Amino acid sequence: MTMFQGYLRKDGRKGIRNIIVVIYLVECAHHVARTIVQKSGHADVHLIGFPGCYPSEYANRLMTNLATHPNVGGCLLVSLGCESFDRDTLQEAILASGRPCELLVIQNCGGTIGTVTAGIEAITRLREAAANPELVPLDYADLVIGTICGGSDGTSGITANPAVGHAFDYLVAQGASCIFEETGELIGCEDVMAKRTANPEVRAAVYDAVKKAEVYYRTLGYGSYAPGNADGGLTTIEEKSLGAYAKSGSSDIQAVLKLGERPAQGGLYLLDIVPDGQIPMGFPNINDTAEIVEMIASGCHMILFTTGRGSVVGSAISPVIKICANPDTYMRMAGDMDINAGQILLGQASIAQTGAEIISCIENTVKGVPTLSEAMGHQEFILTYKSL
Partner 1 sequence: MKNLIWLHPNDNVAIAAASIAAGEIVAVDSQEIVCRAPISLGHKIAIRNLCSGDKVLRYGEIIGVMTENAHAGDHVHLHNMRSAYTPSHHRGHQ
Contact residues: partner 1, CB under 8 A: 153-155, 157-158, 187-189, 192, 214, 217-218, 221-223, 225, 227, 229-230, 232-239, 242-243, 308, 326-328, 345-347
Among 204, 172, 180, CA closest to 271 = 180
Q: Name which of 187 and 323 has its Cβ closer to partner 1.
A: 187
How near is the Cβ of 280 to partner 1 at its closest, in Å?
20
Q: Name which of 204 and 230 has its Cβ closer to partner 1.
A: 230
144 vs 140: CA distance, rounded Å: 8
Q: Name which of 160 and 362 has its Cβ closer to partner 1.
A: 160
The stretches of the chain forming alpha helices (DSSP H) are: 30-40, 57-67, 87-96, 111-130, 160-173, 190-194, 200-220, 227-231, 237-245, 288-297, 327-333, 351-366, 372-375
85 vs 350: CA distance, rounded Å: 50
How near is the Cβ of 287 to partner 1 at its closest, in Å?
16
Contact 289, 132 (CB under 8 A): no
How near is the Cβ of 218 to partner 1 at its closest, in Å?
5
For residues 325, 326, 327, 328, the Cα torsion angle rounded to the nearest 10 degrees is -150
Q: Name which of 108 and 235 has its Cβ closer to partner 1.
A: 235
Among 234, 80, 101, 226, CA closest to 156 = 234
Percentages helix, strand, coil for the chain (3-state, rounded to 5) are: 45, 20, 40
Contact 193, 251 (CB under 8 A): no
How near is the Cβ of 281 to partner 1 at its closest, in Å?
18
How near is the Cβ of 86 to partner 1 at its closest, in Å?
37
How near is the Cβ of 305 to partner 1 at its closest, in Å?
18
Q: Name which of 244 and 362 has its Cβ closer to partner 1.
A: 244
DSSP character for 232? Answer: T
Q: Name which of 139 and 328 has its Cβ closer to partner 1.
A: 328
How near is the Cβ of 192 to partner 1 at its closest, in Å?
7
Q: Name which of 84 and 348 has its Cβ closer to partner 1.
A: 348
* Strand, helix or coil for residue 51: coil
